[in-house]
Structure 1
Amino acid sequence: MPDRPAILLDPHPRRRQMIFNPAQWARLEAMAEVITADVEGPLPASLVEEALPRVAAILGQTDMPSARIARAPHLRAIINVEGNFQPNVDAASCFARGIEILSVGPVFAHPVAEMALGLALDLARGITSTDRAMREGQERYGRSGNDDAFLLSRATIGIVGFGYLGRALRRLLEGFRPRILVHDPWLPAAAIAEEGCEAASLEEVLSTARVIFLLAGVTSENQGFIDGAALRRIQDDAVVVLASRAAIVEFPALVAEAQSGRLRIATDVFPDEPVAPDDPVRRSPMLLSPHRAGGIPAAFHDIGERVLDDLDLILRGLAPIRLQRAQPQTVALMRSKAAREYAKDEAERLAGKN
């Protein structure tokens, strides 16, 4: 290992100004030599190749096939700063060498959980719909305006997918004292019980819960598993909030349920982003949020802090603890699709503020 470690910072998809404030950047430069370039898009291949023999860590979405990993004898960690595990990194080669593959996904758990809770409250209490009615002069006051309202307090709530996001939401729900049913086939029932929830089948969650949060990540095994048949199992007038990945849902069926008025549905994610101007979802009564639940300033500031904390541990020969570690048993199953145009626009917007 060189006396001073080198870190490769790829500005794609997040430029350094987005994830490091001046104090954090100074801390990074004190920690290691930072190799980067002020370019739009990924680093030039020539720069990457030149850095590989010296680099100890890579920050960004740099393509790292097995051949590149072999040319990086000092590499200890590859940190995805977008929040997904992507197939552009040869995971098997990394695991064989003990190279950590890390994601900043945990920084978005609490912000997305707050938004998901807000969407559910909106649907349960008619916040947006009554605002619109009042602006149109069709409001109903007092009791008559609450015919369709219900409380989240002590309700039966279902959570599908119980990773960082699901657990963050569970903590926010504590004050409502609900019964929480959780479906997550990757977790044993005892682990779910330790969180104060009940493990349940997907059928039980869908047919029993008054409010359902769809929070599962998308894998090669579960794409579209919330299909039309699954949606029909949900009780009439239930609240459904989709806040993880659109690919877990049969989206046309979701839109159809919203159009029918049988379910109250909100989503923060879409199969294609930006959503086309003529997409039917825009004309549906669904409560829409343009993939903004996680991308708030507090989350981006947290990325820099967590990355620095784990880099410090890794460079000292210790295990990272603040970021999500890819697991050999599951990383190959992950199938998260980045919303490339959204990410590009968001990157340009945030870069312009720094």
Structure 2
Amino acid sequence: MKIVVIGDALVSSRTLIEAVQVMNLGEEEKEIIAYEWYSDLTKDEFQEHILDIERNGPDNVIIPKGILLDLKDADYLFCHYAPVSSEMIQVAPKLKMVGTCRGGLENVNIKILREKSIPLIHVIRNADPVADFTLGLMLAETRNIARAHCAIKNGKWEKSFSNDSYKTILTNQTVGVVGAGYIGKQLIKRLNGLNVPVLVFDPFVNQDNFRRLGLVASFVDSLEQLFKESDIVSLHMRVTPDTKHIINKDLLNLMKPSSYLINSARADLIVESDLLDILQRKGIAGAALDVNWTEPLMSDSPWLSLTNVTLTPHIAGDTIDAIPKSPFLLKDVVNEYLKTGYSDMIIK
């Protein structure tokens, strides 16, 4: 059995190897071949390649040198941020599974995997950190926590803010969750614990499996209904050709003047100019964004002049343990799938 792993600057090939060694892939002797994808860079230097693959996809970045030869007889491929390109999949006729352990799937050519009927195990390495952070963004924005702190640091004792006429506790607000994948489910679990009413829009989720997990939410039939009825809208989707810019002025204009938009997923889900416009004219109470269309923000960015937005620098999933240990989460999910034939985190 031949297994190819690809390490990078955030998840070492050594950790991937250790995780693979305790996967229940069969009784055959394992031959594990390790490759690197910019593993010699610092975290900050690697950010350039993260943005490159997220924006341009796996077929438009450099793949590890020599890997195509080893993939010709590989049974499994596991990675973190490295590309899983069309070319890599096409040369691997024996491939039984691909596994990746990061937040999105922009690094994988899912279309070709589906054409080849190769299952993809997608473990969101930082689901819990992102869910925690998203809840924090809701509280920070609706209760002006970050703005009050910033004012004090700048010598002002601010107690009045643009959302004063709307301020209330979280349990008095209905949170609309767009996308009930792994991160969405983790957020809903937290909201359930706080007795916060939840609406969900996700046409792909299995509602029976959702409820078997003990989660409580009302499913709506359309994004329009969710945007109309929610006090807080939180986005938890991948960016695909179908979802890019799906949040536009038509949906934003359906929101209540007292409502908020939270985005800890991907900036390109939203039409930037449309969100800027509605915030500038106070059409909604506010927004909290951990992702932006330009990272880092330029000093003349219009986002910096708004008084009704909380901004953070794409750190929702950044904890000391979530990323480096993610291959062991991948190991658990692979073993569960091989044992039961089912997983919430498999894409076929």
TM-score, with length taken from structure 2: 0.75
The count of residues paired between Structure 1 and Structure 2 equals 311
Cα distance in 2 for partners of 1:133, 1:111 equals: 27
- One-letter identity of the residue aligned with 2:32: V
> Is the 8 Å Cα contact of residues 192 and 216 (structure 2) preserved in structure 1?
no
Cα distance in 2 for partners of 1:180, 1:311 equals: 31
1:57 aligns with 2:71: no
Question: 1:139 — aligned with what?
Answer: 157
Cα distance in 2 for partners of 1:186, 1:164 equals: 13
> Is the 8 Å Cα contact of residues 154 and 177 (structure 1) preserved in structure 2?
no
1:35 aligns with 2:33: yes
- One-letter identity of the residue aligned with 2:314: H
> Equivalent residues in 2 for 1:192-271 (5 A)?
195-200=215-220, 201-262=222-283, 263-271=285-293
> Is the 8 Å Cα contact of residues 9 and 38 (structure 2) preserved in structure 1?
no
TM-superposed CA distance for 1:168, in Å, is 0.9
SS of structure 2 residue aligned to 1:50: helix
> Is the 8 Å Cα contact of residues 311 and 320 (structure 1) preserved in structure 2?
no
TM-superposed CA distance for 1:299, in Å, is 1.6
Among 245, 267, 292, the residue aligned to 2:315: 292
Question: 1:303 — aligned with what?
Answer: 326
- One-letter identity of the residue aligned with 1:274: P
1:172 aligns with 2:190: yes
Question: 1:9 — aligned with what?
Answer: 5
TM-superposed CA distance for 1:55, in Å, is 2.1
Among 80, 95, 100, the residue aligned to 2:100: 80
SS of structure 1 residue aligned to 2:75: strand
CA displacement 1:218-253 (0-9 Å, x = unmatched):
332232222112112111132221121222211111
TM-superposed CA distance for 1:86, in Å, is 4.0
> Is the 8 Å Cα contact of residues 310 and 320 (structure 1) preserved in structure 2?
no
**Kindly tell me: are residues 134 and 104 of structure 1, through their superposed partners in 2, closer, same or farther at Cα, counting changes over 3 Å?**
same
**Kindly tell me: are residues 108 and 322 of structure 1, through their superposed partners in 2, closer, same or farther at Cα, counting changes over 3 Å?**
farther
Cα distance in 2 for partners of 1:118, 1:161 equals: 19
Question: 1:99 — aligned with what?
Answer: 118
Cα distance in 2 for partners of 1:226, 1:322 equals: 29
- One-letter identity of the residue aligned with 1:250: V
Cα distance in 2 for partners of 1:90, 1:164 equals: 18
CA displacement 1:128-166 (0-9 Å, x = unmatched):
122233344542679xx9765310024222222222222
Among 119, 122, 126, the residue aligned to 1:108: 126
SS of structure 2 residue aligned to 1:153: helix
> Is the 8 Å Cα contact of residues 100 and 330 (structure 2) preserved in structure 1?
no
**Kindly tell me: are residues 10 and 231 of structure 1, through their superposed partners in 2, closer, same or farther at Cα, counting changes over 3 Å?**
same
Question: 1:348 — aligned with what?
Answer: none
CA displacement 1:257-290 (0-9 Å, x = unmatched):
2233342110111223333443322333321111
TM-superposed CA distance for 1:14, in Å, is 4.3
Cα distance in 2 for partners of 1:109, 1:152 equals: 22
SS of structure 1 residue aligned to 2:203: coil
Show structure 1 runs of 5+ residues with no match.
328-354
Give the number of the structure whose residues are more often helix, by fraction. Answer: 1
TM-superposed CA distance for 1:37, in Å, is 4.1
TM-superposed CA distance for 1:293, in Å, is 0.5
**Kindly tell me: are residues 189 and 56 of structure 1, through their superposed partners in 2, closer, same or farther at Cα, counting changes over 3 Å?**
closer
> Is the 8 Å Cα contact of residues 13 and 82 (structure 1) preserved in structure 2?
no
TM-superposed CA distance for 1:210, in Å, is 1.8
